[in-house]
Structure 1
Amino acid sequence: IVEPISTMNAENQEFCILVVDDESINLRVIGNHLSLCRYRVKEATSGAQALELMEQGLAADLILLDVMMPQMNGFKVCQILRQTYSANELPIILVTAKSQTTDLIAGFSSGANDYLTKPFSKHELLMRINLHIQLSKSSRVLQENEAHLQNLADHLHSSNTELKKYQTTLEMMVEQRTSKLNEAQKQLFESEKMALLGRLVAGVAHELNTPLGISVTASSALIDKTKKFQVKYLNQQLTKDDMENFLTDSLQATGILLANLDRASQLIDSFKQVAVDQASENTRCFPVLDYVEQVLRTLHPRTKKTEIDIRLSGNSEVKIDAYAGSFSQIISNFVMNSIIHAFPEPAVKTGAQYIHIDIQQCDQSLLLVYSDNGQGMSDQDLERV
């Protein structure tokens, strides 16, 4: 959740913004806007100066980078910075008067987080800066939490190993060590659940960046075209072609907004339900087919890196009263097991590798059939099953 600018002023003092522009008036105007919101501002009049400041150890939290500069343009500066800083570590917003699709593509290809088209309003500038600083801050917090949870899991695993060694000692110590082992295993299970939630949060946050970023870009483009349309209208220069082009662009932009915001909404809904179920120890009644679809949606950050086609079929009316968190863990384990062990090599063509999950009701029982066309198990492994 991105907090309103008015509530962030007190915290803004801890954030440093590097403004890079060869026009002194632009530096002064943007610097005034940021200073009023209590941001710490550092200025550079060229791309070379900006790179020098960063090499000297400037701890910038975000860079406002003008594209059209002599000697070294903003695209080149962005590419050089991305060799050292990731998009999460150092958000970069390109600022330019260019608004063509090719310019947007070039900007994002160079590693920019966002694209701000001149002229822009003070409110839009501050909202975008606030958005990307908070996203970067949240990403760092998630990484720190995940590292902490992993360290805890490693520590508990080490304790578990040590307990197993002592089980071979005196019988009087067996009961005590067994009790400690059970407690350690319980803590390990809870830690693994939290680590899973941490990875789930990080994955969903990463997935949300794409639809939200596209929505922001589409909104900005629509605002720009609306302003140009308004100018022509007020100057009585509006033509039929202008009207038709504006309607076409508006429909296209709103379509992009609706599709991406709907995608973001689905991701959030799936994450909320699965996250609550992971933490809950109570049973509940849920439609199996819909819930499996939600679980698969939360696994999308992992499954999208493969060429595996996941197929879901069955009776959408089938419901069960069970532990939803445990059920989601079973589906997740099945899918991850297939990805890791059944398909060690990437597919030659899309659709050649698949996972099929079928849901049916058999009398008063649930029939869940999970299958894939992976490499299978060796005869030696089958004998031990």
Structure 2
Amino acid sequence: MEINDKKQYKILIVDDRQKNIQVLGSLLRQENYIIGVATNGEQALEILIGSNDYDLILLDVNMPVMDGFEACRAIRVHEDLKEIPIIFLTAMVDTDSIVTGFEAGGQDYVTKPFNSNELLAKVNTHLELKHSKDQLRKVNQWLEDKVLERTKELRHSHLKLQKAYQELNVLDKSKSEFLAIISHQINTPLNGILGFIGVLKHEITDTHLQEMFKYLEISAHRLDSFSKVSLKITRLRTRTLPVDKKQIAIEDLIRSSQESLVEKIKSKNIAFDIGGAGNMIKGDPELVEFCIESILDNAINYSPNNGIVQINISSAGNNTRFAVIDRGNGFNPRSLNNLFELFVPDQEHSEENKGLDLALAKLIMDAHEGTIEVLNNEGKGATVILTFPN
């Protein structure tokens, strides 16, 4: 790297002989260096302390008052003068003198009588090194400032995120508590309504009224289901619903779910094709049964009349895989990414409050350290896969 703008570099010549000062000054000025002069070590130290803008020192060794080695040591005591390169001018070339100069804090030496080319080469080299060190020091300082600035920004961002997280937790807790209250307030009068409907539908003989009560009962049961699912979701999200894990046979849960859905199965004449058997899983029987029943109910709802729902049970390492395959219209591709979100109803598969059922199924699988996947089949239908750790 060549030194540019040499007039910016300032060199202090320290020598007790005027002839040497004149020769050195003339040579260096031809190279556009700015020159300062001192005739002994003490004077040089005073100049440097008063103005620390010098870039290099040419220091004679043999001088009265304070010799070059002593002056060098005195200069190095000052923190802001430690980085200025010092080149000794000396007639002593014995090893002891050279070592003494380096130990005192010098960087190099030029022997008297000096060679102009050698002197300029060494001056140029040490100025280049000083320039590089200065630039590196500036870059390091800039980087340190940037790190401190970025750390401050990150700390501020972290505090903001922490505050936002706390606020979200409060909102989430409030929402969950509100859902629990609503579910309870709905469930209590709803039990009475369902009881009265059960009594009245057997007393009414009018065909038109019987049909009306049938739809009224369906709507009431749907509301009852919504209330119970909402409460389960709330308790799972707030970790207030105990998960009592036991060894259970998945075939028993399938059979129990089919019994609960028997009227719907008969009305659509749905057949089941079940493959695989003998698999045990560790889970909460009530929660896992709800999960399986919801998936089967969904498959029945969207299967055509006289359709087939396929169930595959298989082992995959330390996991049991439960897959339900229907031949309905499949899920809307745009909603596949948010099927398990609360209150984001899917236009195709969630028209009968299945959005909450799938959200609850996801929470149940999370509580069992399992997974739930939803895929559209090639051609027609959809596949829902539950994976349970054994």
TM tier, shorter chain? 0.3 to 0.5
When the two structures are superposed, what TM-score results if normalisation uses the length of structure 1?
0.41
Between Structure 1 and Structure 2, whose CA radius of gyration is higher? 2
After TM superposition, the score normalised by the length of structure 2 is 0.41
Q: Which structure is higher in helix share?
A: 1
